[in-house]
Amino acid sequence: APSHSPSLSPRAMSSAASLVESAKKAAAFQAVDEHLLPEHRFVGIGSGSTVVYVVDAIVAKGPEFYGPMTFIPTGSQSKGLIRAAGLNLSNLDERPVVDGKSVPLDVAFDGADEVDEDLNLIKGGGACLFQEKLVAIAAKKFIAVADYRKQSPRLCTKWLTIPIEVLPLSAPDVLTRLQAMGSPKPAIRSGLPSKAGECVTDNGMWIIDAPFPPLLLPKDLSPSEEGDGKNAGKWEVSRLAQELLKVPGIVEIGLFHGFNGNQAVSLGQVGQAQKP
């Protein structure tokens, strides 16, 4: 029988891929131009392929600009990126302490898997979500850098699952709890194709990918639904986050929300793809 699959020609596929790369690069350069200031001293560097362009954009500013800055990674991949670029590397727990408090990062840049209308994010496709969240909340300003494919009216529409980092011992019980919360088929993520077994995070934990119906925003709930944070089996983002974090064994979740205006998203649009 003839095949009706709408497959793209190799040439169309490679031009679509290069459009995406241009958009990632445009988003990264724009984010660094707008949000990295010469007076900044501590800068968070996230994970994923878009962040590679963030580091390129920082390097392009020259050593007199980035030389006085110290960069804090979100895991082994970004540690390698910072090192390879010749930037000053430190760690979250090595920042100076002033008046009994670790100094905040001035700004942190990181990628995302999906971004909704209120700038809530799904992160964790690369299994670095725990340290990504620690770096994000340690920063005065958190900048998500993402290309146009990540934009979505509601979370769990394009990226269908929420990555959840769990203590391996607790995984069977967490799976059961997630199902009871309305996640139809949560699954333990497996490792890289070359490695058998589960995906093990930089923290020695496992990841569960939990599908949920599209997540609601506060404006989607009527006043009578605000109490339980749900409408027709769909969760509002912040309520689901709260409930997930109560489950014993879950150490962190890939829902990033409630940055209270402290968050900006730089989405590389097709029209900006020519930007350096």
11 close to 261: Cβ distance less than 8 angstroms = no
CB of 194 to ligand ABF, least distance (A): 19
Please provide residue 265's backbone torsions phi and psi, each rounded to the nearest 5 degrees: -120, 130
Name the DSSP letter for residue 12: H
C-alpha triplet 114, 164, 31: angle, nearest 5° = 35
Question: How far apart (Å, rounded) are the C-alpha atoms in residues 51 and 72?
Answer: 13
Span 213-252, contacts to ligand ABF by CB under 6 A: none
Span 100-139, contacts to ligand ABF by CB under 6 A: 110-113, 123-126, 128-129, 132
CB of 15 to ligand ABF, least distance (A): 19
From 246, 244, 46, 49, select the one nearest 164 (Cα to Cα).
Answer: 244
Binding ligand ABF by CB under 6 A: which of 44, 46, 186, 249? Answer: 46
Q: Give the β-pairing of 250-253 and 161-166.
A: antiparallel
Question: How far apart (Å, rounded) are the C-alpha atoms in residues 142 and 140?
Answer: 7
CB of 273 to ligand ABF, least distance (A): 16
Residues in a beta bridge with 73: 45
Count of residues in contact with ligand ABF, rule CB under 6 A: 16
Binding ligand ABF by CB under 6 A: which of 14, 15, 49, 76? Answer: 49
Q: Enumerate the active-site residues.
A: 132
CB of 21 to ligand ABF, least distance (A): 11
User: If binding is defined by CB under 6 A, does position 75 make contact with ligand ABF?
Assistant: no
Question: How far apart (Å, rounded) are the C-alpha atoms in residues 35 and 196?
Answer: 41
Residue nearer to ligand ABF on the CB measure, 132 or 165: 132
Question: How far apart (Å, rounded) are the C-alpha atoms in residues 23 and 273?
Answer: 5
Q: How is residue 243 written in tokens?
A: 């409930």
Binding ligand ABF by CB under 6 A: which of 20, 29, 42, 50? Answer: 50
Span 51-70, contacts to ligand ABF by CB under 6 A: none
CB of 175 to ligand ABF, least distance (A): 21
Residue nearer to ligand ABF on the CB measure, 48 or 229: 48
Q: Give the β-pairing of 142-147 and 234-235.
A: unpaired
**Could you list the residues that contact ligand ABF (CB under 6 A)?**
46-50, 110-113, 123-126, 128-129, 132
